[in-house]
Amino acid sequence: MAERRFPVMSRLLSARRARREPPPDQAHSAEARVPDTGAQAFEPMGAINVDPTASSPAGTVKLRVVRPFGKDEHVEITAKSPGVPKLACIDGAAVREPSTDLSDVIKVGGLAPSEVLARIRNWSLANGAAVTGWLSRARRHCGEEPRLLIHDETDANIPWELLWLPDDPDRRQGAYVGCSFVTARWTPLQVTRREQRNHPYSTLRCRGEVLAYVGEDMAEADLSMIDGYGARTVASARLLFKELADPGRPLSLVYIGAHGRFSTRSFEFTVAEVALGRIFAETFPRIDDAAPLVFLNACHSGRVIIDESDTSLPSSFAEVFLRSGAAGFIGTTGAVREREARQVAKGILNALARQPGKPVATALRDFRRQVVAEHSRQTWSADRGDEESRALPLLYTFMYVYYGSLWTTVELSGRGVGE
Beta bridge partners of 190: 47
Supply the DSSP symbol for 162: G
For residue 327, pLDDT over 80 is answered with yes
Residue 371 main-chain phi, psi, to 5 deg: -65, -40
Q: How far apart are the first and last CA of the chain?
A: 50
Closest residue by Cα to residue 37 from 414, 385, 417: 385
Which position has the higher pLDDT, 41 or 121? 121
pLDDT of residue 143: 82
Q: Are 139 and 180 in contact (CB under 8 A)?
A: yes
- Residue 169 vs residues 129, 295, 332, 368: alpha-carbon distances, Å: 16, 39, 34, 24
- Residue 413 vs residues 354, 357, 364: alpha-carbon distances, Å: 8, 13, 18
Mean pLDDT over 19-48 rounds to 37
Tens digits of residue pLDDT in 115-142: 888 889 999 988 889 899 999 989 888 8
Q: How far is CA 201 from the centre of its chain?
A: 18
Mean pLDDT over 173-179 rounds to 90
Choice among 7-16, 302-311, 371-380 with the minimum mean pLDDT: 7-16
For residue 18, pLDDT over 60 is answered with no
CA atoms of 239 and 256, how far apart (whole Å): 12
Q: Kindly report the average pLDDT of the chain as a whole number.
A: 79
- DSSP E strand stretches across 235-317: 251-257, 260-261, 270-271, 274-275, 282-283, 293-297, 305-306, 314-315
pLDDT of residue 107: 52
The structural domains of the chain, ordered by start, are 50-185 (no CATH), 198-359+372-410 (3.40.50)
CA atoms of 361 and 218, how far apart (whole Å): 27
pLDDT of residue 172: 67
CA atoms of 239 and 395, how far apart (whole Å): 33
CA atoms of 155 and 19, how far apart (whole Å): 10
pLDDT of residue 169: 66
Distinct helix (H) and strand (E) counts, the chain = 11, 25
pLDDT of residue 222: 86
Beta bridge partners of 98: none
pLDDT of residue 100: 64
Mean pLDDT over 314-335 rounds to 94
Total-model pTM: 0.83
Mean pLDDT over 75-95 rounds to 77
3-class SS at 250?
coil
pLDDT of residue 189: 64
pLDDT of residue 415: 57
CA atoms of 162 and 105, how far apart (whole Å): 14
Q: Are 256 and 296 in contact (CB under 8 A)?
A: yes
pLDDT of residue 34: 36
Closest residue by Cα to residue 237 from 185, 278, 198: 278
CA atoms of 347 and 169, how far apart (whole Å): 34
Which position has the higher pLDDT, 82 or 340? 340
Tens digits of residue pLDDT in 245-264: 999 889 999 999 999 999 99
DSSP 166-180: PP-TT-PPPEEHHHH
CA atoms of 53 and 43, how far apart (whole Å): 29
Mean pLDDT over 101-118 rounds to 70
Report residue 36's pLDDT band, with 50, 70 and 90 as the boundaries.
very low
CA atoms of 341 and 256, how far apart (whole Å): 12
Q: Are 135 and 125 in contact (CB under 8 A)?
A: no
How big is the chain, counted in residues? Answer: 419
CA atoms of 215 and 272, how far apart (whole Å): 7
